[in-house]
Amino acid sequence: MAEETATLGGGCFWCMEAVYQQMEGVLAVESGYMGGSLANPTYSQVCAGGTGHVEVVQLQFDSTISSFRDILDVFFAIHDPTSLDRQGDDTGVQYRSVIFYHDDAQRQAAERTIRDIEADGIWSAPIVTEVRAAETFYPAENHHRDYFRNHPNQPYCAFVVAPKVRKFREKFAAKMRKEA
């Protein structure tokens, strides 16, 4: 096993967490905040917009099962990397698209993936995803963890999170976690 860490921001962390919890090779997913100036931010402080933090998920994954490129392929499939500071109705700098790399190999892979996606013409607008060095990760409050699993019928989960999970299942069936 080769365990790695990936930290990604692509809109609401509930959406990203729910998808990556389904992915083969992902060992753990934790929602939190990164990239801002305030130590130990709270959800309400981040949502107020003054901290500079992004809602992120931090993944522990086995790169012998799912590579960092696999992680990024899912990332770019489940959010709109051309929307600056927003995903759907969620707006603000905390929802920006960003890859926080943990080493130079991840930085290079992120930059290469963005170039490949732009060359393929998948999106009609330019990709605005930031590629930045990882900073201090601040875990989200407990009630934000496993949110979709714990609240699948909550309206936001039913209308926003569930479609992203369905899209992942349809597009990445081969990368689904094998449940015993």
> CA 47, 53, 57, 60: dihedral to nearest 10 degrees?
-150
Angle between helices 68-78 and 162-171 (to 10 degrees): 130
Rounded Cα–Cα distance for residues 142 and 45 (Å):
16
The 3-state DSSP class for residue 58 equals strand
Annotated catalytic residue, options 12, 15, 47, 157: 12
- Non-local (6+) Cβ contacts of 144 within 8 A are 13, 14, 31, 43
Q: CA geometry: angle at 79 spanning 74 and 81, to 5°?
A: 105
Q: Is 12 annotated as catalytic?
A: yes
- Non-local (6+) Cβ contacts of 87 within 8 A are 10, 11, 12, 15, 79, 80, 95, 97
- DSSP class of 159: I
Q: CA geometry: angle at 8 spanning 49 and 129, to 5°?
A: 75
Catalytic residues: 12
